[in-house]
């Protein structure tokens, strides 16, 4: 069932979605449960065989039916086995995978992107990401910037795909400005923005000071929003990211002056950096306080 049909669009040589050439929105048609086997004193592994129907794919392919084997574990410590607990087995369930249609045999060979109520947002991010590919190959930085600021805003999946595909886009001033706008947008849940910057944004390589300042300003606004949502540890994580993004280790100074347009925001970030209970290395704390105080 998994051999490509005549006329199937073959996967691109270079992966597009994480380490895979395709992204697909699937629905579970049926799942057969196999044997249960003990894997230790408190862990049981169950095998499954699932039939999937491909509803949408990027790039489009002709094949629509696939069969996947998978395993799930139960018991104390089962999550450490790295099996496919994320795979929904109920008939009619939807999920989004990055996959290779000619190697679509075992779920462990796919990359899980989302399932359940997250499917609409995750698939929208896949479409948004794919639309930024110039000629289906390289990322267009202007399209990336436009995709980041478009409403509704992207889900964190967009930044995950972008991070794995081409981190160099953050060398573009337009992308830096767009990222700053996204991170400072109070309409987007602060933990969503925190996840994007903490996990899927690299240090920007742009030399445009104004664009870098907008990115830093967005990160500072996010810190304030996280504090307001009683997410102190996440605020500290973004503060540490702020330092690593803009502090030049070789030069021993920050690449830009601290954005000072919003004095209330600046003071809030300064207070967090200087608070005795904020878990920062003292050298980082001192550098941040100097920077936020107007020195580089």
How many whole angstroms separate alpha carbon 238 and alpha carbon 223?
A: 6
- What pLDDT sits at residue 7? 44
Which residues, at least 6 apart from 233, have a Cβ–Cβ distance to it below 8 Å?
A: none
- What pLDDT sits at residue 209? 97
DSSP H or E segment with residue 113: strand 111-115
- What pLDDT sits at residue 262? 87
- What pLDDT sits at residue 84? 94
Each of the 296 residues of the chain gets a pLDDT tens digit; together they read 554 444 444 444 468 999 999 999 999 999 999 989 887 778 899 999 999 999 999 999 999 999 999 999 888 776 778 899 999 999 999 999 999 999 999 999 999 999 999 999 999 999 999 999 988 789 999 999 999 999 999 999 999 999 999 999 999 999 999 999 999 999 999 999 999 999 999 999 999 999 999 999 999 999 999 999 999 999 999 999 999 999 999 999 999 999 988 899 999 999 999 999 999 999 999 999 999 999 87
- What pLDDT sits at residue 261? 81
Q: Where are the alpha helices (DSSP H) in the chain?
A: 119-130, 141-149, 156-165, 173-183, 190-200, 209-228, 232-246, 263-274, 282-292
DSSP H or E segment with residue 52: strand 43-58
How far, in whole angstroms, is CA 51 from its chain's centroid? 28
Question: Distances from the Cα of 122 to the Cαs of 113, 154, 158, in angstroms?
Answer: 7, 9, 8
Q: What is the 3-state secondary structure (H, E, C) of 206-219?
A: CCCHHHHHHHHHHH
How many whole angstroms separate alpha carbon 165 and alpha carbon 293?
A: 37
Q: Provide the CB-side half-sphere exposure for 157 (13 A, CA).
A: 24
- What pLDDT sits at residue 42? 83
């Amino acid at each position: 069932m998994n051999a490509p049909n005549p006329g199937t669009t073959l996967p691109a040589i270079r992966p597009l979605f994480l380490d895979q050439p395709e992204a697909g929105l699937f629905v579970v048609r049926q799942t057969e449960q196999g044997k249960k086997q003990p894997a230790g004193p408190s862990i049981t592994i169950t095998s499954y065989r699932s039939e999937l129907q491909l509803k949408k794919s990027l790039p489009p392919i002709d094949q629509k039916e696939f069969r996947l084997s998978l395993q799930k574990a139960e018991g104390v410590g089962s999550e450490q086995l790295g099996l496919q607990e994320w795979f929904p087995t109920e008939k009619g369930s939807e999920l989004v995978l990055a996959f290779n249609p000619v190697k679509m045999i075992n779920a462990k060979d796919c990359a899980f992107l989302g399932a359940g109520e997250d499917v609409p947002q995750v698939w929208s991010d896949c479409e948004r990401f794919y639309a930024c590919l110039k000629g289906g190959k390289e990322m267009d930085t202007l399209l990336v910037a436009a995709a980041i600021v478009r409403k509704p805003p992207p889900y964190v999946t967009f930044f995950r795909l972008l991070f794995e595909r081409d981190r160099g886009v953050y060398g573009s001033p337009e992308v830096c400005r767009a990222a700053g706008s996204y991170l400072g947008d109070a309409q987007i849940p602060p933990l969503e923005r925190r996840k994007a910057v903490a996990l899927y944004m690299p240090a920007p390589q742009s030399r445009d000071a104004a664009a870098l300042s907008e990115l830093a300003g967005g990160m500072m606004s996010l810190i304030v929003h996280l504090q307001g949502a009683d997410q102190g540890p996440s605020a500290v994580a973004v503060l540490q990211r702020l330092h690593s993004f803009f502090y030049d280790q070789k030069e021993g100074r920050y690449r830009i002056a601290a954005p000072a347009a919003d004095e209330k925001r600046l003071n809030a970030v300064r207070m967090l950096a200087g608070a005795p209970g904020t878990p920062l290395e003292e050298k980082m704390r001192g550098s941040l306080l100097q920077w936020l105080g107007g020195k580089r």
